[in-house]
Copies of this chain bind each other. A is one copy, B any other.
Amino acid sequence: MGENNKYSIGEFSEKTGVSIRTLHYYDEIGLLQPEKNPTSGHRIYKHHDILTLQKIVSLKFLGYSLEKITNLLHQSMITVDLNETLTLQLEVLKKEKERIEQSMIIIQRVIKVLEEEGEVDSAILFSLIHSMQTESIQNEWLERHNLTVVVEELSKKTEKEKITLDQTFIQMAKEVKKLYGKPIQNQEVQEMIKAFIEASFEFLGDDLVQQLADAEVEELDIQELENIAPFPFTEDEQEWLNQAMEYYMKEAGME
């Protein structure tokens, strides 16, 4: 037992809930250096070390690195300039929080999709996730090309509608992978494309699809969009799909 007000590292660790190794580490980096018994080398913690550790733990909780804490510790008065740092820290936390919230939403959507579909080709699933994840970047792209209306329309959709879209996307991707290899004029192939295009119309509405079609977008920009959210297809599948769609367009008399 240590005397009153004197704690061995074990006792101090117990008292404060900070591990012995962490205390060793804080000593090592000069953050919290207690007295030492000069002969045995054993550390002796005292009351004021508790206060110092309290500061350290608090600042860590607020998100500071140990290095910054080392600097802050030597100021005995905390002035308004801390305010700035705190505001900054608040911003960082806000960003972090948003990221987490978005992740949660995406996970929930993925769970829903998995529940309904049971088993999904991983390329398809990850294409979907990646697409959700880059939603904001895709929106930027749309806005850069004067398609803000589309962004607005999309943001109005409910979670349910989005899940429906997810499923439509998965269905199409599945079918592409199944039908790939068949001639593009094949009836099944053409029906799949028809179904998909009709689903898109239904989701976005006629005029929005029209706007999308009318938008003047250069090949290079299309390329950029595809880099942001690539389809889950191999090059051959992609090529085949493109041709099948072109054929459909021609047949349907669309531009």
Contact = CB atoms under 8 A, between A and B. Distances in A.
A77 B119 contact: yes
Nearest to A76: B122
Interface residues of A, number: 59
B5 A126 contact: no
A62 B97 contact: no
A187 B235 CA distance: 88
B62 A103 contact: yes
A127 interface: yes
A225 to B, nearest CB: 12
A30 B224 CA distance: 28
B97 A101 contact: yes
Contacts of A58: 126, 129-130, 133
A104 B88 CA distance: 11
A127 B48 CA distance: 12
B107 A89 contact: yes
Contacts of A230: 50-51, 54
Contacts of A118: 79-80
A115 B94 CA distance: 21
A122 B235 contact: no
Instruction: Classify the secondary structure of A's interface with B.
Output: helix
Given A114-B83, A230-B50, A133 B76 contact: no
Contacts of A51: 123, 126-127, 230, 232
A130 B90 contact: no
A101 B61 CA distance: 12
A122 B71 CA distance: 13
Interface of A: 5, 15-16, 47-48, 50-51, 54-55, 57-59, 61-63, 75-80, 82-83, 86-87, 89-90, 93-94, 96-97, 100-101, 103-104, 106-108, 110-111, 114-115, 118-123, 125-127, 129-130, 133, 227, 230, 232, 234-235
13 contacts: A5-B235, A47-B234, A58-B126, A75-B122, A77-B119, A78-B125, A80-B118, A83-B115, A89-B107, A90-B108, A90-B111, A93-B103, A97-B97
Q: Which 3 A-B pairs have the closest CB atoms?
A: A58-B129, A55-B126, A54-B130
